[in-house]
Amino acid sequence: MATKKNKLAEYEKKRDFKKTTEPKAKVKKSKSKLPMFVIQKHNASRLHYDFRLEIDGVLVSWAIPKGPSLDPRVKRLAVQTEDHPMDYGKFEGNIPEGQYGAGPVMVWDYGTYEDIKEDKKGNIIPMEKCLKDGSIKIFLHGEKLKGAFYLIRTSKEISGKKQWLFWKVDDEHADARRNPVSTQDYSVLTGRTTAEIKKKGKIYGD
């Protein structure tokens, strides 16, 4: 059985911590009552939004190329990537040239979430099981994103990476006209744009 430490082995292997200011691999629980989530806008070789959910001491992660949509009819591809340490949730800064994922990282949204996936009897299914089953339903309490979302694994795998679909549940927070990816293009931690992060570098993540 994989230990908690092993969960971050891939994260650790991909990075040279003498060169990048990203957080070191460490498993821990968040202090908040509810588990946390973060979405990081990452201008790497290809722009994507890294969606991360706290599950059992790490941030389970997906790369969403187009970012989230609030339109319940729009399903976004979400490619599962390696688990990240909890401290990554507040990392904002530049990953240096030549390093894995080189480019600016912005904390685009941050908050807590609730597991709202129920079994037939109406009992909440634990997140660890939802993840294994490939069927997640969560309620986000973010600054930009609120309300319920689905994250469902498809049968496809691309280069060994699991493909999921992420989309908005049709609730009172759904809004086909609002597009936060373009209208709220700033950090919820610092208010900075990607260009400003690139210029000034890291202020979070120590």
Count of residues near Mn ion by CB under 5 A: 2
Nearest to 204 by CA among 186, 180, 187, 179: 187
Which amino acid, 45?
S
Nearer to Mn ion, 50 or 92 (CB): 50
Minimum CB distance to Mn ion, residue 126 (Å) = 27
Closest CA to 37 of 56, 59, 22: 59
When the beta carbons of 36 and 64 are compared against Mn ion, the nearer one is: 64
Q: Which stretch binds Mn ion (CB under 5 A): 4-12, 40-48, 70-78, 157-165?
A: 40-48
Contact between 115 and Mn ion (CB under 5 A)? no
> Contacts with Mn ion in 43-82 (CB under 5 A)?
50
Give 197's contacts (C-beta < 8 A, 6+ positions apart). 92, 93, 94, 104, 105, 106, 187, 190
Least Cβ distance, residue 161 to Mn ion (angstroms): 13
Q: Apex CA 26: angle with CA 25 and CA 28, to 5°?
A: 150
Residues that bind Mn ion (CB under 5 A): 42, 50
